[in-house]
Amino acid sequence: MTPADPPQTHLAVLHGGDLPPGHRRLDTHPRLAPVRYATADRLGEVLPGAHALFVWDLFSEALEAAWPKADSLRWVHAATAGVDNLMFDGLVGSDVVVTNSRGVFDEPISEYVLGLVIAFAKDLPATLGHQRRREWRHRETERVGGRHALVVGTGPIGRAIARKLRAAGLTVEGAGRTARPDDPDFGAVVEASLDTAGPGLADALPRADYVVLAAPLTDATRDLADAAFLARMRPTARLINVGRGQSVDEGALVAALNAGELAGAALDVARTEPLPAESPLWDAPGLIVSPHMSGDVIGWRSELVELFADNLERFLANRPLRNVVDKQRGYVSGP
């Protein structure tokens, strides 16, 4: 190395056993020192001296335990939209910048939610059950057009969901951090709280045929859909959660479904993942369970790597990074 050569950046990659697609281009990058790869149990061995960390092990909480070893860290990039697994005190209180993969999952998740709405309205789960039993059972189904949806979470994923549902003929309103009467995607936005003095969930929930949770996990959204929340919903309404499992009181949801107080629900996320075989969610009436897959379409891993690669070039060139997380709020603020 000559004095004119730029210093090399040390990059660590936390993975769960499968390396990111195209990782070899990281290994041969002229501005990177040899990339250090580690699973959760070895993360502490590769963090010393690392300037950047790519969290490819999507929901790992290993960084908190290894944090004392992060003596040179300046940037952490998460291959997820949610970063609640990284919002521990040490990282939040540090100068380390956190970025996420906002934008990769918006359209796939919105398509998934629309598919669930149609599945509920057209009673597709029952049709498949009758088919398996070789039963020819005629029924009448519901219209999708003209129904009303409440989307809790007004970030990019929530906005994509709102646009998709409106295109299918539903009316939509949003619930977010602040209420506003005129929003280009939601129309009206109420405050995502049952206790607010202004327009809030207490008013909006009884209007909704579909309540879609698409918010990041924060102190405000943890256990948001509790018994009081569910009691405000119509008995004919359905709850769809594509946000975080910790936003739903699963015991209260099972009780409401068993009592016929809700027409149905769909959970793409759970408080414990994988969902244990003994969980009562599996057998709850009217409940569709999917294994945290609503945003995972063919090619999604490559899209995540492309976003990281773009941010890596920005980091190496000291240019502004994409998707910088507001660590106090736990998500990317602004457009």
Residue 94: Cβ within 10 Å count: 15
Looking at the DSSP bridge assignments, the partners of residue 324 are: 99
Instruction: Locate the DSSP E strands across the chain.
Output: 11-14, 36-38, 52-55, 75-78, 97-99, 148-152, 171-176, 180-183, 187-191, 210-213, 238-241, 264-267, 287-289, 325-326, 331-332
Ramachandran assignment for 311, one of left (phi > 0), alpha (psi -120 to 50 degrees), beta (any other): alpha
Distance CA 175, CA 205 (A): 10
Residue 10: Cβ within 10 Å count: 20
Percentage helix, strand, coil for the chain under 3-state DSSP, each rounded to 5: 30, 20, 50
Distance CA 83, CA 331 (A): 7
Which of the 8 DSSP states describes residue 258?
H
Distance CA 7, CA 257 (A): 60
Q: Name the residues annotated as catalytic.
A: 244, 273, 292
